[in-house]
Structure 1
Amino acid sequence: MLRISDDISIQDWELSESFVRASGPGGQNVNKVATAVELRFEAARSPSLPGPVKTRLKRLAGRRWTLEGALIIQCDETRSQARNRDIARQRLIDLVQKAMVAPKRRIATKPTLGSKKRRLKAKKVRGEVKVMRGRVDPTD
């Protein structure tokens, strides 16, 4: 079981790990040992995540979210399989914790009188600059 917060924890059946050969430095170790981890979390079917958290998680995950509703996290940073496994699990925890934070609602405000005047003055100055770019008459 993976504990995210006091009220959210991910069960073992929701996670599946597969180990594949990693690329990068490591000498012969890279060619013979599957150290890279691919952590798959069945987020869409998860009973432990509330609906709004799932929605935000899907948006945060981006390309890591599959069509079946699974979140896939890959890690091949280190030469150690156990360390890569821990890093992948920590990334999942961080992502779910970030998805748990509800965004603040923006309170619409009116623009101030000063900002309106500054905007109109800037538009006028810009218009004058553009007028000055006009064609020059040779008769003048």
Structure 2
Amino acid sequence: MLVISNRLTIPSNELEFQAIRASGPGGQHVNKTSTAITLIFDYRRSPTLPDSYKQGLDKMANANITAGGKIIIKAQQHRSQEMNRQDALNRLQSLLLQANVRPKTRHATKPTRSSVRKRLDTKSKHSKTKQLRRTPPKD
């Protein structure tokens, strides 16, 4: 079972774990043991995941999310299978928490009178400086 928040937990029967051989350095240990973990979670078919999370995941641009609606996380940093399993679960939890974050809505504001006055004063001062740099007209 994966606890996302106080109200949301994902049962372990919706999570699929596959033990595979890790790549990279490690010598004979890496070549003989299947310590890397691939976690697959089909969020579109999940009955426990709320629609707000599903919509957030659909909008996210993440390499771990496939077009078919699956999250695939490969964890191979640790030497033990159990630590890689926990790492994959932690990464899934953080991804789901990111998907549920709603951006703040922007409220249009009006500039203050003093800021408008300062901006116009600066513009007129700059304009006068530019005018003084011009060559005088020939009469």
Give the equivalent residue in structure 2 for 1:32.
Answer: 32
Please provide the CA RMSD for this pair: 2.9
Give the equivalent residue in structure 2 for 1:10.
Answer: 10
Give the equivalent residue in structure 2 for 1:138.
Answer: none
Distance 2:38 2:28 in 1: 21
Residue 96 of structure 1 pairs with residue 75 of structure 2:
no
SS of equivalent residue, structure 2 residue 26: coil
- Structure 1 residue runs without a partner (length 5+): 131-140
Percent of aligned positions that are identical: 45
TM-score of the aligned structures, taking structure 2 as reference length: 0.76
Letter in 2 for 1:15: L
Alignment of 1:111-126 (within 5 A): 111-116=111-116
Give the equivalent residue in structure 2 for 1:134.
Answer: none
Distance 1:23 1:15 in 2: 23
CA contact (8 A) 1:60 1:95 kept: no
TM-score of the aligned structures, taking structure 1 as reference length: 0.76
Larger-Rg structure: 2
CA contact (8 A) 1:60 1:99 kept: yes
Distance 2:126 2:41 in 1: 54
- Structure 2 residue runs without a partner (length 5+): 131-139
Aligned length, in residue pairs: 135
